[in-house]
Structures are given as structure tokens and as C-alpha cells.
Amino acid sequence: MDIMVDELQERIEAGEKVNMVDVREPYEHEEFNIGGQLIPLGSLPVRINELTQDKDAEIVMYCRSGGRSGMAKQFMEQAGYKNVRNLTGGMLEWQRRFSAK
């Protein structure tokens, strides 16, 4: 099940520790990020071992708009991770919703 930016933002503000992975490129991460671990989509297959070994743990994948993180979610599920969520709308939606505040 995917996650909406409102839900994720509420959980972060509440101080909840959320496993987040940013699958964008380093320059995108430098421009704006919400604190997720940077693992660009192209390097995910060789860096998957850097993620939690608990394959039942929730992991939120995000990118610019949700496309790359959707592919990352599929890859993670094929690797046996059972609770991977894609941030719907990605950083574009996050900035649209929260940057004006």
C-alpha cells in the first residue's frame, strides 16, 4: 500500500522513526530532501544490503514524482521485502503541499 505525503509528514512531525529511502540522483537530493537515505535507483540492486535486514519492516521509497520509487518498490518486493510503500506524488507533491506554509 502506498503512502500519501500528508500521512508521512504527520508521522515525521510526531517524531516517529520512519525508514525512508530517496531513490533520486545525488543532485536532486542535495536540492531538497526530507531526510531519507540516498540510494539512487540505479545503484539499489548493489546497495540493497545497506537497508534493514528485517524484511517485514516498513520502508518508504520516494523520488521526484513517484515513478522511480514505484520501480524501487517492485524491486524491493521481488527481493523479499514485505512492507515497502511508495510516496504518492514524491517530492513534487511534498513541496506543493508544504513549501508554501
| End-to-end Cα, the chain, rounded Å | 28
Q: Which of 39, 44, 63, 72 is catalytic?
A: 63
Task: List, as one string, the DSSP characters of 66-86.
Answer: SHHHHHHHHHHHHTT-S-EEE
16 is catalytic: no
Q: For the sheet containing 59-62, what is the strand order?
A: 37-38, 20-22, 59-62, 84-86
**Which amino acids are annotated catalytic?**
63
